[in-house]
Chains A and B, each alone.
Chain A
Amino acid sequence: MTDPLGWLDILSRLFIQLWPVWAGLIVMFTVSITYKRRLGLYGKLFDSVVGMIGFALVMFWVFAALFADMIITHDPLAQFSGMRNAAPGTPLRDPAGGYEFFLLGGDALARDVFSRMVMGAREVLRIAPFAAMISFMIGISLGLPAGYIGGKLDTGLTFVANLVLAFPVILLFFLLVAPEIQNTAIPRVMAGILFLMPVLFFTVLLNARFFTQPMKRNLYVGAVLVVGLWAYTGLAFNADPLGVWGMSPNLLNVFVAVVFVNAPTVFRIVRGITMDIKTRDYVAAAQTRGEGPWYIMLWEILPNARGPLIVDFCLRIGYTTILLGTLGFFGLGVAPESPDWGSTINQGRRLLTVYPHAALAPALALMSLVLGLNLLADGLREESLKD
């Protein structure tokens, strides 16, 4: 039997175990810094220290999620005898040829905390950016016409958005993410409406640009419709004939709830920016040229609103991560064995005062990811204001 590791040993072993992440970060940063003058806003990010730190934190977790299979030391779901609540650096009783230590200790079910934390990154990064993206497309496709056309449409959409925003988020989660709800049609119907938005968005986007060149238009719009509707049937109704796209009812429920909470805020932001930009001269010029309203909204206003929207997108991924953690913390809509950070914190909190490591590791992981996203947003904001 080997001795338990000291803190210095644990840290150096963690460092070695995470080598794919360091390799990825080094390659990424060298390439980006070398070519930063040719990379637009992304390149300018490397002029700001805050932005770089944020970007490094985010990419750390992205690489950790990508290379999770190489990084983990044990199966995140497997239980090992004698490792219940083991302290960080405890050697395994019977390694059987595998890794000899639990680097960050074991949890209450004798699973490896480190491997679960790394796998948790994969769970979170699989949902959060995707959910933020869908929220953005919904917010944009509704916010642009509300701000540009105004009138009754604006009043109606704003009322609905305020209605959703007046709901305390936590209450919405308790009501919407429950086993009883999963058996009803509500998540499917909501998913049917929410997931249709991105398809519509891209169709209108391309149609508004290329309707003067029917050949190109038919090609692009056709491609979007085929891929979009294929993904749509799979994601929203789990009816993909080829079985490539699909979501478990659990995941769909969580996804719909998170998108539902985020979309109205994006809507308000887009609407505000649109109302500001539509008074500019280039919009008036486009109107005089006789461009259609959707062309003006999507190809004149939207590109000029990108600065604040990109910044908010980073913040929104962070907020979505926090929301997913909240859901996990209350045990809502997650698979029982899931290694995602929220539910790991929830399981760890019962023995928090005695064995804090099981909850502390995912908590710090979640914090560093969100902090990275917020710093990244701050750096982007600063750099985009310099133009």
Chain B
Amino acid sequence: MILDAKIPEGPIEKKWTSFKNNAKLISPANKRKFKVIVVGTGLAGASASATLAELGYEVETFCFHDSPRRAHSIAAQGGINAAKNYQNDGDSIWRLFYDTVKGGDFRAREANVYRLAEVSGSIIDECVSQGVPFAREYGGELANRSFGGAQVSRTFYAKGQTGQQLLLGAYSAISAQIGLGRVKMHENSEMLDLVLVDGHAKGIVTRNLLTGEISTHAADTVLLCTGGYSNVYYLSTNARGSNVTATWRAYKRGAGFANPCYTQIHPTCIPVAGDYQSKLTLMSESLRNDGRVWVPKAKGDTRAPQEIPEEERDYYLERKYPSYGNLAPRDIASRSAKEVCDEGRGVGPGGLGVYLDLTGAIKRLGEKTIRERYGNLFEMYQNITGENAYERPMRIYPAVHYTMGGLWVDYNLMSNIPGLHVLGEANFSDHGANRLGASALMQGLADGYFVIPYTLGEYLSTQFGKKVSTDMPEFKKTEEEVRARVEKLLAVKGNVPVDEFHRQLGLIIWDECGMARSEAGLKKAIVDIRALRERFWKEVAIPGEGAELNQSLERAGRVADFLEFGELMCIDALTREESCGGHFRVEHQTPEGEALRNDDKFAEVYAWMFQGEGNAPDLVREPLHYEAVHLATRSYK
């Protein structure tokens, strides 16, 4: 099998323009005839639904939440990047492109990233016109701040609630279309399988979470906008409901799963406090604009941070990476935190924490300014830890936050299953092995507002006269398979709560496929995951029935998929015998402990293909060609 990325010819600056000039158009009269299913209503799903409906397509959108406004994009804090250069500080499309490719440790697809940078400016225009209340300067201009991995200020923000405001913008756009009858919205509907007709994605099977009703839905194409799989770690900054089920089910129907081992560990989260904990909370990276990260120079120093004099503190990011300092990219900042904690210099309970100190900034700028910039974060911190960060530095530690891997897509955002498009965090294409801060919001909205409306015609123009309906045997068969899986879960009747399996899976993956990975560890993890999976299917407890709201059943279905997916993640990490970005194999590091890539062997996308239950997956490689940027060792020194 060959994966053709369908990258347009020509120099990188011209590819997207030349694509658009030659793209297949669908006339307004024909758009009405095509039905599009969108799964998920985060930034990618809501923006795609609204935009495709505006264009005249018939759109049906599904989300498992009670309202499209609840999708987890809402929790993004810091901001959204765009190459507007409003600050006159030397930014450009090229720089945003280059920073993103370099930030991704040269494992992203160049052409996709350039397009992302190219449309970034339009996203800001679009959002402002929807009424997104971005932060402003006194004269009324838009304000910007800096984020990790960049030396310019290109991040637009709305307090510490940028994701909320962007999502509510997209939600208002989809709401307008629902009101007009152009989007049919199905809330409380979880996608449990993908339906293929003659090898093309033509529909989905869903379970209504309130009634338990299982139903099928047909369309001309399916868009998965279902987010990432961070919750395979159990503890992550993702919402409790975020899951891998939709993309995993698509994988089991033949879609390639690309680079599943590329996960992002965010450096600034509130440390884990106990095993009762249900999730981790992020403290926005934007705090690193004004905050300084440090630990005591001496091991086991238990003094209160205020009592440790300046000369006995190690501002390790500033020391190791003088030119980027506290704004070093996420993977590097996380690894450095782990390093100092491994040395025994960590702070707080268990020694798993470092200080993020804004006391200097408070002195310099005044508490009022800091309160204005980060007030909600300080409040959140106090709520969770009971500590006042205006008086003493925050304690932070890395936590799983985002997943760069996802379903393989070509330049048109279509997977190797014809008709299956994948947008936002659910696909793999733009962030390589590490995502830069404020780029997830950019990618989700770019895919939905400005990419898929142009690329969808490439597929749909081949589908005239190929209507399918849910009466077809393919739909009935898939529906029966879904029913059988639900019954199978309910039939286990064990006595161990779902959360227990999820927590154990999380510990295995965090220990062996987290911030540091080794051959022996990954091999052990695979064995442990298999054993855990076996136990799950014998012992899981799911009280209640299928035909009602049953939250244990919902969670069990998701955890069952995580238990399969976790194994693939470890297989991918084991096969990628190099370190790059967030994927750090301890066998492959420089003498200074930095990630050591092996470009000769691994400048490739690894797409895994399902080969049936119990069989090893097939690996298909897509070579990455760097024409515009030179492969270089990433340096932030």
Partners in one complex: no
